[in-house]
A and B are shown apart, each in its own frame.
Chain A
Amino acid sequence: MKEKLDQIFSRHHGTRDALIPVLQDIQAEYGYLPPEAMEAAARFCRVAPVEVYGVSTFYAQFKFSPVGRNLVMVCQGTACHVMGGARVLEEVQSRLGIRPGQTTADGRFTLETVACIGACALAPAMVVNKDTFGRVKPEKIMEMLNGSGS
Chain B
Amino acid sequence: MGAEASKSKPDIGHQVLVCRGTGCESQKANLIYSNLQDEVRKHGLTGLVEVKFTGCHGLCQMGPTVVIMPAGTFYCNVQAEDVSEIVEADLMNGGHVERLLFVDPKSKEKVFDYRDMKFFNPQRRIVLRNCGFVNPEDIDDYISVGGYEGILKALRMSQVDVINEVKKSGLRGRGGGGFPTGMKWEFCHRSPGDQKYLICNADEGDPGAFMDRAVLEGDPHSVLEGMMIAGYAIGATKAYIYCRAEYPMAYERSLIAIEQATDRGYLGKNIFDSGFDFEIKLKLGAGAFVCGEETALMASIEGKRGMPNPRPPFPAVKGLFGKPTNINNVETFANIPVVMTKGGDWFASVGTERSKGTKVFALAGKINYSGLVEIPMGTPLKEIIEEIGGGIPNKRKFKAAQTGGPSGGCIPASHFETPMDYENLTQIGSIMGSGGLIVTDETTCMVDMARFFLTFTQKESCGKCVPCRLGTKKMLEILQDICAGRANMRDFNQLMELAEDIKGGSLCGLGQTAPNPVLSTIRYFRDEYEAHIINRECPARVCVDLIKFEVNEENCKMCGACFKACPAEAVTWVKKQPAVIDRDKCIKCRSCILACKYHAID
B303 touches A62 (CB 8 A): no
Q: List 13 A-B contacts (CB under 8 A).
A: A17-B303, A17-B321, A21-B283, A60-B287, A79-B207, A115-B205, A116-B205, A117-B246, A118-B247, A120-B362, A120-B436, A121-B363, A123-B364
B245 at the interface (CB under 8 A from A): yes
B27 at the interface (CB under 8 A from A): yes
A115 touches B284 (CB 8 A): no
CB neighbours of A114 from chain B (8 A): 246
Q: Give Cα A18–Cα B300 distance, bound, in whole angstroms.
A: 10
7 new A-B pairs (CB below 8 Å) besides A21-B284, A61-B286, A79-B208? A47-B303, A61-B287, A77-B207, A78-B365, A83-B366, A121-B364, A121-B370
A72 at the interface (CB under 8 A from B): no
B287 touches A132 (CB 8 A): no
B364 touches A79 (CB 8 A): yes
A81 at the interface (CB under 8 A from B): yes
Q: Kindly identify, within residues 335 to 383 of chain B, every residue whose CB is under 8 Å from any CB belonging to chain A.
A: 362-366, 370-372
Shortest distance in angstroms between A25's beta carbon and chain B's nearest beta carbon? 10
A16 touches B303 (CB 8 A): yes
1/0 per residue A52-65: CB within 8 Å of B? 00110011111000
Q: Kindly identify, within residues 88 to 136 of chain A, every residue whose CB is under 8 Å from any CB belonging to chain B.
A: 114-123, 125, 130-134
B86 at the interface (CB under 8 A from A): no
Q: Kindly identify, within residues 293 to 347 of chain B, every residue whose CB is under 8 Å from any CB belonging to chain A.
A: 300-307, 321
Contact count A vs B, C-beta below 8 Å: 143
B213 at the interface (CB under 8 A from A): yes
Kindly report which residue of chain B lies nearest to residue A52, judged by CB atoms.
B303
Partner of A59, one of B207, B286, B453: B286
A18 touches B207 (CB 8 A): no
Give the size category of B's interface with A.
35 or more
Partner of B208, one of A47, A77, A122, A130: A77
B208 touches A132 (CB 8 A): no
Q: Give Cα A132–Cα B248 distance, bound, in whole angstroms.
A: 11
Partner of B23, one of A47, A131, A134: A134
Q: Give Cα A117–Cα B206 distance, bound, in whole angstroms.
A: 10
If the complex has contacts A55-B305, A87-B589, A118-B247, are A60 and B26 also in contact, measured as CB distance less than 8 A?
no
B141 at the interface (CB under 8 A from A): no
A79 touches B213 (CB 8 A): no
B477 at the interface (CB under 8 A from A): no
CB neighbours of B438 from chain A (8 A): 78-79, 82, 120
Q: Kindly identify, within residues 45 to 93 of chain B, every residue whose CB is under 8 Å from any CB belonging to chain A.
A: 60-61
A118 touches B303 (CB 8 A): no
B305 touches A118 (CB 8 A): no
B405 at the interface (CB under 8 A from A): yes
